[in-house]
Structure 1
Amino acid sequence: MENSKVCIEMGLKQQAWMWVFVLVLIINASFQSGWSEGCLEQERFALLQLKPFFNHPHTLSNWVEGDHNNSDCCQWERVECSNDTTGRVISLDLFYTRGEEMGEWYLNASLFSPFQQLQRLYLDANSIAGCVENEDLRSSNLKYLDLSGNIFNKNILSSLSALSSLKSLYINDIGLNGSVDLSEMFHSLRNLEVLEIGNNQIHKLVVTTGNGVSSSNLRDLILRNVSIHDGRTLFQSLESFPYLKTVHLEYNNFSGILISNRELHNFTNLKELYMGGSSVHISLLQSIAAFTSLETLNMRDCQLNGILDIKGGLCELVHLRELDLSRNNLKGALPSCFGNLTSLEELDISFNQFSGNISLSPLMALISIQQLKLSYNDFQIPISLEPFSNHSKLKSFSCKNNDLYVEAELYSLAPKFQLNSIRMSGCKGSCTFPKFLYYQHDLLAVDLSHNNFTGVFPGYYEGAVDETFYPLMRTEEIVEFRTKTISYFYHGNILTKMFGIDLSCNKLTGDIPPQIGNLTMIHALNLSHNNLYGSIPSTFSNLKQIESLDLSYNNLSGKIPHQLAELYTLEVFSVAYNNLSGRTLGLVAQFSTFNASSYDGNPLLCGLPLPRSCDAIESPTLLPTDSDGIGEENDFMDMGIFYISFTVSYAIVILTIVVVLFINPYWRQTWFHLVETWMTLCYYFIVDHLPSVI
C-alpha cells in the first residue's frame, strides 16, 4: 500500500513537471516566431520604416528604436493592437502626420503589407498624390480606410479593387472632377457599406447597373458639395443600391425637377435623406412619397418657394420622425394633411412666412412632438401655449418673432408637458409672464426677450407654502425656501441645472432676486434693456460656470460687488448705462480682458479700464475712517501733528550741530573757516555788482 502511494505521488509530480516543460516550449516558440514585449518584431520594424514619411512636428514622437522601455509598439501613439495573445496591429491613425512643407508625394503601399491583421487605416490630410506604380493597397482584413484631403485622381478608384473586405471608405476632397464612374469599384467592393465622397467637383456620378452592382450592400452614401446639377440622373443611379438607408446630398445645386413617383422603385429602405443647403424645386415635396420608409427629412435652406401643397406627397410619410423645412420661403397656412404625420418628434419650420392662428392648425394633432421650432414666421400664438397643453412629450419650444397674444381668459391650468427650453418673443401688447411657467421645473434655457413684459422682476410673493407642489420638485433642485414665500418660477423650484436665461428688452422693474446666484450651472444671463433698479447681488459670485453676463441699460445703483472677480469663466460682461458708482473691478483675473465699453454710461464709476482716475473723484473728507481713528492707507496726515514734528526735528538738528562743534576743536575750526569764506565771497559779490545796480 505504501509503495503504491509513493508511486502515485511520483507519477503526479512527473506529470506536473511535464506540463511545465510543455508551457516553456510554447512560450519559447512564441518568442522565436517574433513575439516581443507585446507586439510583433516585424510590425515594430515596419512602423519604424513608415515614420520618415510621416514627420509632422509633435507626432509619432515615441516611435523610436533602441529604447528598451519603449519597445512595445502597441503602446506607441496612434497604434492599436488586438487584445488577444497575438498582439497584432489592427489600427493605424496617421491623420495629418506629414509636414506640408514636404509637398506632394507618392505612397509605397507595400510598406503596409507586414500588418496582416490591419482593420482600420487613416491616411487623410497627408498630401498623398497617389501610390507608387504596381504597389496598390492590398489587405484581406482592412475594413475602414480614410484617404480624404489628399491629391488623388480617378485612378485611385481602380487601385482599391483589392480591398475586398472594405466596409467604410472615405475619399472626401481628393481632387475628383467631371464624370466619375463608380461601377468597377462597386463590382469589387461587394462588402462596402459606407461611402463618403464629398467636397469633390463631380458633375456627374455614373453607376452602371448589372455586373453585380445591384447586389451592393451600400447603406450610407455621403455626397455633400459635389457640384452635381442633374439630380434626376443621380437618383436613377442611386436605385442601383437597394439597401440604402442614409443619403447626404447637402450643398449641391440641383436644377429642374429631381424625381417623379413613376421613376422611383428601389428606395423602400431609405430612412434618412439630407438635402440642406442645396437648391431644390418645391415639387420634390410632392414626389417624395415614394420614400415610404423615410424617418428623417432635412431640407433646410433649400430655396423652397411658394405655398406648401403636399397632399399625396410629404403628408404620406407616416413614419417620418424628424422634418426640417427651416430657412426657406414657404408661405401661407400649414396644410391640413400635416396632421397625418403623427410619428413626428422633431419639427423645424422656422424662418419662413407661414401664417395663421396656431390654435387652429394641424399641429394640434401631433401629440408625439418633442421639439417644435416656429420662430420667425407670422403665426398667431397664445402666450399661454394652451393649444399644446396635452402634448405631454413636448420638451423644446421656440416661437421667437411671431405674433404672441394674451387670451381674453388667461389659461391657468397646469399643462402636461415639461419643457427643457423655451424661446418666446413677439408679444406686442401689455404682457405678463406666462403662468404655465409656474409648473415647469425641468427648464435649462429660457429666452423671453423682446416681449414688453411689464411688472416687477420675478421674485417672491407672500403666501403659505403649499406642500402639494413638493412632489413636482426634485430634491437637488430645491435651493431655498423662505418662511411663507414661494418663488415665482418652477413654485420654489429654482433650477440648479439652468444654463441660460434671457429676459432682455422688456419693461421689468424692481430688484434682481439674489436667488439667481443659486443657478450655479448657468452659462448665460441677459437682463439688459429693462428698468431694473437696486444693487447687483453679490451672490452672482456663485455663478462659477457663467460665460456671458449682461446687465446693461437698467437703473442699477451702488457698487459693483468685488466678489465678481471670482468669475473666471466670463467671456462677455457688461454693466453699461446704469447708475453704478465707486471703483470698477480693475484689470484683475478675467476682468483684464474687458475694455471701457463694459462700464460706459456710469458717470460715477472710476478706475481701469475707464479713463477716470478714482483719485480725482474721491475727496479725502469723504473717505471713511475706522472706529479706532486710524485712517486708511490713502488718508492724508493730520497737519497739526506734521508742524509739531517738523519743529522738534529742526531744533534737534541745530542742537546736535552746536554740541558737535563744542566737543571737537578741529571740526569747530573748520566750521568757522567755512563760514568766514562764505561771508567774504558774499561781500565781494555785492561790492562788485552794487555800482551796476545803482
Structure 2
Amino acid sequence: MGEKWARGAIVMLVLVTGWYCSCCCGCLEEERIALLNLKHSIRPPTGNVLASWERHGDCCKWVGIECNITTKRVIKLSLSSLLIILGIGTLDIGFMKNEGLERLSSLSNLKVLDLSYNQLNNSILSSLASLSSLKVLNLAFNEMEGSLHNPELVALNELKKLDLSNNSVESFMAPKGIKRVSSLSNLEVIHLLDNSFNNTTLSSLGGLPSLKILDLSRNKLKGILNIKELVALNNLKELDLSENEVESFVAPKDSHTLKELEVLLLEGYSLHNNFLQSIGTLNSLKVLSVSNCELNGTLPSRGWCELKNLEELDLSGNNFEGILPSCLGNLSYLHVLDVTFNHFRGNITTSPFTNLKSLEYLSFSNNNFQVPNSFSMFANHSKLKVLMGDANNLVPEPLLQTPTPKFQLIFLSLSYLALKEPPYFLRHQNVARAVDLFHNNITGGLPSWLFMNNTALKGLRLGYNCISGPLQLPAQRHFNITILDVSGNSLQRNLPINMSSVFPHLKTLIMSKNSFEGQIPTSFGDMKSLESLSLPNNHISGNIPDSFGHLSLLSYLDLSNNWLSGGIPELLVSGCPLNVLRLSNNNLEGQVFPLLFNLTKLSVLKLGSNNFEGNIPEFSSINSFYPQIIDMSNNHISGKLPRWMGNISSLQGLSLAKNHFEGLFPVEFCGLHFLEFLDLSSNYLSGSIPECFNPIGIEYVHLSNNRLTGPLTKAFSRCSSLETLDLTRNNLTGIIPGWIGSLPLLSFLLLKANYFEGEIPVQLCQLNKLKMLDLSQNNLSGSIPFCLSNLTFEALVSSNQISYWTTGSEIEMIGSLVKKSRKKLAETGKKLAEIAIDHSKYGYELIKVEYWVEFTTKGMSHVYNGSIFRYMSGIDLSCNRLIGRIPTEIGYLNEIHALNMSHNKLTGPIPTTFSNLKQIESLDISYNNLSGRIPPQLIELNTLAMFSVAYNNLSGPTPDQKAQFGTFDESSYEGNPFLCGAPLQINCTKIESPSVLTNVSNYDRENNGLIDMSAFYWSFVVTYVVVLMAIATVLHINPYWRRAWFYFIEVCITSWHGTTGAVEAAVPCALLHIASTLLLGSKEVIFSRFILMSVQGTILLQFNVIAILSAEVP
C-alpha cells in the first residue's frame, strides 16, 4: 500500500514540476529565437505592431501567437495586416527566395498560419515548405497570381483549410498535370473566392477526396457549368459558385452525384427557368440560394419541391410572379425562407406560409402580397423569431377575436405597409430587441407600452409616420435602448430635456424632419454613450451647446437646416471624435479655421449656407486633417484658395462655391487624385486652369461665374469619368478642343458666355451620353455639324447625387437573432444593422452631395436638380456666328427637350424633320436668315411650350392654331413681313410671297429696315446709265422721234411746275440747261436739253419707286 502511495507521489511530483517549469520558462527557446529573428527581418521596423515581441519575454504571451497549453509549443501565428497597419508600400520580409519566413521551420508544431492582407506574391510559398504540420493556412488578400504550381504547396500534406481569397490566382495546373493538387489529400476546406479561376478548375480539384467546403464565388467561370465535373468530390457538403458569369447550370440527373451536398449557393447567376425543375436530384440539400439569378415567371411545382430536407431557401431578388405553389408548404423542415424583392401575390392567409410551422426566419418584403393587419395566420408559428413583411398591401381585418400568438419575435420589420397603428400582436411580445415600423401612417405618440413590455428592446424605428404633438418619453428608464428614430413626423415644441435620463445608453438618436423648436437642451451633453445625433430640418434656434464637448464618443453630428446662430463651440471640436459634421443652412458665423484642424478624425465637413467669414489660413503642411468631403459653399469666406488643400490625398468632394475667393487656381490641386466632385463656381478666380489638373476619377466640375482666362488645353483631357463640365461665364479663349469628344461619360458640357472661337468640333458627336450642350454666347463660326444627330439624349438612370460612404465610430449591431447554420440566409444581424446604417443618419453613414446644372430654356435660365434633372436635355448654340443650313438630321433628336439656335446667320428652310422632335418643349430659331414656309407638320409637337421663329425671312401662312400652336402669340412670328395668318394681323389673301428674296443680315434688318441702301444706289446708277444711253442713241438716229420727245418733255415740265417735288427736280435741271447753252452752242444745247429732261424723268421715276416700296413696309 505504501509503495503505491510512493509511486503516486513521484508521478504527482513530476507533473507539478513539469507544470511549474512550463509556467516559468514559457515557450521553447528555439521557437522564441526564431520569432525574434523573424521580427528583425521585417523591414521597416514594425514599431508598436510587434512591440510585445521582446528578447527576454515569453513568446506565448506575444501578440499574434498562441501556444499549446501543455507543451508550450507555438501552434498559431498571425501576421495579418502588417502592411495595412504600417502603411508601407511593400511588406519586405527580407528574403530573396527562402530568406525570412524560412525561420518558421523551427516552429515544428505550428498548426495555424495567417499571412493575409500583406501584398505577398507567389514566392512566399517556398518559405512554407518545411511547415509540414500546418493545418490552416490563410493567404487571403495578397498579390498571388497566375498558376500555383510550386512543389512547396504539395509538401503541406497535413493541410485541412486553405484560404486564397482575393488574389489573382488562375489555376493549380502544373506543367505536367494536376498531380500536385491531388497530393493535398487531407484538405477539407478551400476558399478561392474573388480570384481568376475558370471552368477547368472544377476538374483540377477532383483529386481532393476529403474536400467538404469549396468556395469559388466571384471568379471567371463562364458559359455552361455542369456539376458532374465535381463527381469525384464524394464528401463535398458545401459549394458556393455565386457571382460568376455562368449562363446555365446543369444539375445532376441522378441522386448519386454529390450525394453528400448540403449547401448550394448560386447567387448572382443568369439561370434558366427550368433549373428549379431539375434540382430535385440533389436530395441531400439543406440550403439552397438562387437569389438575384434573373429567374422569372411562376414557381414550378416540380423539382425543388422534392427537396424534403431543405432547411433554408433563398429566392429573393428575382422576378417571380403569381401565387406561391402549395408544394412549398410540404417543406416541413424549413426554418429560413426569403422571397423578398419579387412579384408574388395572393393573400398571406391562404399561402403556404401558414403550414411552415418550423419557420424561425421569414421575409416576404417587397412583393404584392395581401397582408391582413391582424397577422393571425402566424399565431401558431411558435418558433418564429424574425418576421419581415415590408412594402406589401395591407388588408384591414376585424381585431375582435385575434388569437394570442405563440411566437416571441426578436426582430420585426413592417415598414411601408400603411399601418395606422402598431400591430396588436406586438402587445404580446416580451423579448423583442428591434422593431422597425418605418414609413407607415401610425398616429398618436411614442408607444410607451412597447418599452414596458420589452425590456430588452434595443432599437425602435418609427420614422416617417404621422406622430404629432410634443414628444412624450416613457416615465421609466430604459437602459437597453441604443437606437431611436422618430424622424419625418410632425413632432412639435421643445426637445425633451429628460432624454438622457430616460435612455441613458442611447447611441443613435434621429429626430430629423420634424417641427421641433427652441434650443437644444444642455442635458443632451449628458448622453455619454451617444455616437450619432441627427436633428436636421427642424426649427431649432439658439447656439450649439458647449455641453456637446462632453460627448466623448460622438462621431456623427447633423444640425443642418435649422435656425442656429453663434459660432462652432471650441469644446465641441476639442472634445468629440467627430467623423461627420453637418451644420449647413443655419445662421452660424465667425471663423472656422484653424479651429477645425483639431478634428483629426473628420471625414465629412458640411458648413454651406451660413455666415462664416475670414480667410482660410495657408500652412506649409497639414498632417492630421484629412477629410473626404469639404462643403463651405455660400458663405463669406475670402482670400486665396489654400494650397494645402491640394495635399489632402483623401479628398473626394470639394465645394467652395459662392464665396469671395480670388487669385489663381492652385497648381497644388493637381495632387487631388481621388477627387470626384469640385465646385468653385461664383467666386473671383482668375488665370488659367493648370494643364496638370486631371483627377482620374473626377465626375463633376463646376467652375462657372469666375474670371478664368486662356485656352482650354490639356486640363480635364484625361478625366475619363467626367460627367459634368461647367465653365460658363468666364473669359476662356481659343477653340473648343477636340479631346472633349473622348470623354465617354460626359453628360453635361456647359461652355456658355466665354470667348471660344472656330468651328464646333465634330468630336462632340462622339459624346453618346450627352444630355445638355450649351455653347451659347461665344464667337463660334462655321456650320452646325450634322453628326449631332448621333446624340441620343436618353434619360439618366442614376440620380443627381454622389454618394460617399464614410466610417464613423462603430455602432454595436443588435445581436445575432437567429442561430445561423449557413453562410447567407439568416443574416438577421445584417438586417438589424440597417437600422444603424440607413440613409445619412447613423455611424456608417451615406453622404449625398447633390449636383446641379444651369441651362436656358423657354427664354429663361433655370437651375436643374432633383428628380427633373435626370429627364432634362437640350442644345443651346445661340448668340454665335454660325452659318449655313440647319442640318435635317437635327430633327432626329427625338429625345431632346430644348433646342436654341437663335441669333446666328443660319439660312435655308426650317427642316420638316423637326416634326420628329416629340419631346421638345422649347424651340427657338429666331434672328437668323431662314426662308421658306414654316413646316405645317410642326403642329404635331404636343409637348412644345415655347416657340419662336421671329426676325427671319419666312413667308407663307403660319401653322394652324391647333394643339400647342394655339398658345403662341404674335411675338413668336414677328419680323417676318411675308408671313400671314393667325395670330398675325395679316390676311394670307392680301399678300403674295416674292419668288426671290434677298438674304440680308440681322444687323441691316434691325437697323435699316428691309432695303439694302448700297444695292439701291448701284441700281439707281445702272438704271440711269442704261436708259439714258438707249434713249440718246435712238433719238440721235431718228430726227422725227427726237422732235416728238422734246415736245413731250416740255409739256411734262410745264405740268410738273405745280406738283409735289417739282422744285427739287427742276432746279438742278435748269442750272444744267443754262450751263449747256453758254458752253456748247445751238446743236449741243439741243442735246443737253434732251439729257436734262431725261435726267429729270429718271429721278422722278426713282422717287416714285421709293415711295411705293416704303408704303408696303408695315
TM-score (norm 1): 0.71
| Equivalence map 1:178-217=2 (5 Å) | 180=173, 183-206=178-201, 216-217=209-210
1:160 aligns with 2:162: no
1:242 aligns with 2:231: no
8 A Cα contact 1:332 1:354, kept in partner = yes
Amino acid at match of 1:90: I
8 A Cα contact 1:261 1:289, kept in partner = no
Who wins on radius of gyration, i.e. which is larger?
2
1:548 aligns with 2:508: yes
Please state how far the C-alpha of 1:219 moved relative to its aligned partner: 0.9
1:40 aligns with 2:28: yes
Please state how far the C-alpha of 1:377 moved relative to its aligned partner: 1.0
- Pick from 50, 54, 59 the counterpart of residue 42 of structure 2: 54
Please state how far the C-alpha of 1:366 moved relative to its aligned partner: 0.7
Give the count of matched residue pairs: 554
Structure 1 residues 283, 545: CA separation in 2 closer, same or farther (over 3 Å shift)? farther
Structure 1 residues 516, 226: CA separation in 2 closer, same or farther (over 3 Å shift)? farther
Match of 1:175 in 2: 168
- Pick from 515, 526, 533 the counterpart of residue 573 of structure 1: 533
Match of 2:477 in 1: 518
Match of 1:623 in 2: none
SS in 2 for 1:92: strand
1:96 aligns with 2:81: yes
8 A Cα contact 1:253 1:278, kept in partner = yes
Q: Any idea what the Cα deviations from partners look like across 1:265-310, whole Å, max 9, x if unmatched?
A: 322211212222333333322222122121122222233233222x
Structure 1 residues 323, 450: CA separation in 2 closer, same or farther (over 3 Å shift)? same
8 A Cα contact 2:534 2:557, kept in partner = no
Match of 1:489 in 2: 450
Please state how far the C-alpha of 1:584 moved relative to its aligned partner: 4.4
Q: Any idea what the Cα deviations from partners look like across 1:480-537, whole Å, max 9, x if unmatched?
A: xxxxxxx5437xx343321211222222234433217723222221222323345433
1:431 aligns with 2:424: no
8 A Cα contact 1:245 1:272, kept in partner = yes
- Pick from 51, 65, 68 the counterpart of residue 82 of structure 1: 68
| Equivalence map 1:434-449=2 (5 Å) | 434-449=423-438
Structure 1 residues 252, 53: CA separation in 2 closer, same or farther (over 3 Å shift)? farther
Q: Any idea what the Cα deviations from partners look like across 1:579-627, whole Å, max 9, x if unmatched?
A: 5565543573277979996263458x8775642689xxxxxxxxxxxxx
- Pick from 525, 544, 559 the counterpart of residue 598 of structure 1: 559
Q: Any idea what the Cα deviations from partners look like across 1:218-275, whole Å, max 9, x if unmatched?
A: 1111112111114524x2222211111111222212112x114416632221121222
C-alpha separation between the residues in 2 aligned to 1:170 and 1:367?
Answer: 38
Match of 2:870 in 1: none
Amino acid at match of 1:226: N
SS in 1 for 2:113: strand
- Pick from 263, 267, 276 the counterpart of residue 276 of structure 1: 267
Please state how far the C-alpha of 1:151 moved relative to its aligned partner: 2.3
C-alpha separation between the residues in 2 aligned to 1:382 and 1:263?
Answer: 43
- Pick from 537, 555, 558 the counterpart of residue 496 of structure 2: 537
| Equivalence map 1:442-461=2 (5 Å) | 442-454=431-443, 456-458=444-446
8 A Cα contact 1:180 1:202, kept in partner = no
C-alpha separation between the residues in 1 aligned to 2:124 and 2:560?
Answer: 64
Amino acid at match of 1:298: S
8 A Cα contact 2:357 2:382, kept in partner = yes
| Equivalence map 1:466-481=2 (5 Å) | none
| Equivalence map 1:629-648=2 (5 Å) | none
8 A Cα contact 1:252 1:279, kept in partner = no
Amino acid at match of 2:35: L
Amino acid at match of 1:370: E
SS in 1 for 2:317: coil
Please state how far the C-alpha of 1:82 moved relative to its aligned partner: 2.1
- Pick from 118, 133, 139 the counterpart of residue 141 of structure 1: 133
C-alpha separation between the residues in 2 aligned to 1:83 and 1:201?
Answer: 41
Amino acid at match of 1:402: N
Match of 2:408 in 1: 418
C-alpha separation between the residues in 2 aligned to 1:601 and 1:36?
Answer: 65
Match of 2:361 in 1: 371
Match of 1:303 in 2: 294
Structure 1 residues 48, 458: CA separation in 2 closer, same or farther (over 3 Å shift)? closer
Structure 1 residues 262, 508: CA separation in 2 closer, same or farther (over 3 Å shift)? same
Match of 1:676 in 2: none
Aligned-pair RMSD on alpha carbons?
3.8
Structure 1 residues 577, 328: CA separation in 2 closer, same or farther (over 3 Å shift)? same
> Which region of structure 1 is more displaced relative to structure 2, 346-355 or 45-54?
45-54
C-alpha separation between the residues in 2 aligned to 1:566 and 1:35?
Answer: 47
Please state how far the C-alpha of 1:107 moved relative to its aligned partner: 4.4
C-alpha separation between the residues in 1 aligned to 2:23 and 2:513?
Answer: 72
C-alpha separation between the residues in 1 aligned to 2:303 and 2:24?
Answer: 64
8 A Cα contact 1:147 1:170, kept in partner = yes
Match of 1:588 in 2: 548
1:611 aligns with 2:602: no
> Which region of structure 1 is more displaced relative to structure 2, 513-522 or 374-383?
513-522
Please state how far the C-alpha of 1:46 moved relative to its aligned partner: 2.4
Structure 1 residues 495, 518: CA separation in 2 closer, same or farther (over 3 Å shift)? farther
SS in 2 for 1:528: coil
C-alpha separation between the residues in 1 aligned to 2:192 and 2:102?
Answer: 25
C-alpha separation between the residues in 1 aligned to 2:322 and 2:358?
Answer: 24
C-alpha separation between the residues in 1 aligned to 2:10 and 2:589?
Answer: 89
Amino acid at match of 1:114: S
C-alpha separation between the residues in 1 aligned to 2:64 and 2:556?
Answer: 44
Please state how far the C-alpha of 1:561 moved relative to its aligned partner: 2.7
Q: What fraction of aligned residue pairs are identical, expressed as a percent?
A: 31
SS in 1 for 2:229: helix
C-alpha separation between the residues in 1 aligned to 2:199 and 2:113?
Answer: 29
Structure 1 residues 224, 134: CA separation in 2 closer, same or farther (over 3 Å shift)? closer
Amino acid at match of 1:166: L
C-alpha separation between the residues in 1 aligned to 2:472 and 2:338?
Answer: 35
Please state how far the C-alpha of 1:433 moved relative to its aligned partner: 3.1
- Pick from 317, 326, 331 the counterpart of residue 341 of structure 1: 331
Q: Any idea what the Cα deviations from partners look like across 1:374-410, whole Å, max 9, x if unmatched?
A: 1111111011111111111111111111111211455
> Which region of structure 1 is more displaced relative to structure 2, 297-306 or 53-62?
53-62
8 A Cα contact 2:111 2:136, kept in partner = yes
C-alpha separation between the residues in 2 aligned to 1:574 and 1:383?
Answer: 32
Q: Which has the higher contact order (CA 8 A, sep 6+)?
A: 1
Please state how far the C-alpha of 1:361 moved relative to its aligned partner: 0.9
8 A Cα contact 1:125 1:150, kept in partner = no
Q: Any idea what the Cα deviations from partners look like across 1:552-577, whole Å, max 9, x if unmatched?
A: 33344555332111124434434445
C-alpha separation between the residues in 2 aligned to 1:132 and 1:352?
Answer: 47
> Which region of structure 1 is more displaced relative to structure 2, 43-52 or 192-201?
43-52
Structure 1 residues 574, 165: CA separation in 2 closer, same or farther (over 3 Å shift)? closer
Structure 1 unaligned blocks of 5 or more: 1-8, 460-486, 615-694
C-alpha separation between the residues in 1 aligned to 2:415 and 2:36?
Answer: 62
8 A Cα contact 1:138 1:162, kept in partner = yes
Match of 2:218 in 1: 225
Amino acid at match of 1:376: N
Structure 1 residues 266, 523: CA separation in 2 closer, same or farther (over 3 Å shift)? same
8 A Cα contact 2:149 2:172, kept in partner = no
8 A Cα contact 1:205 1:237, kept in partner = no
8 A Cα contact 1:586 1:607, kept in partner = no
Q: Any idea what the Cα deviations from partners look like across 1:424-451, whole Å, max 9, x if unmatched?
A: 13444x8333222221122211122222
Structure 1 residues 576, 411: CA separation in 2 closer, same or farther (over 3 Å shift)? farther
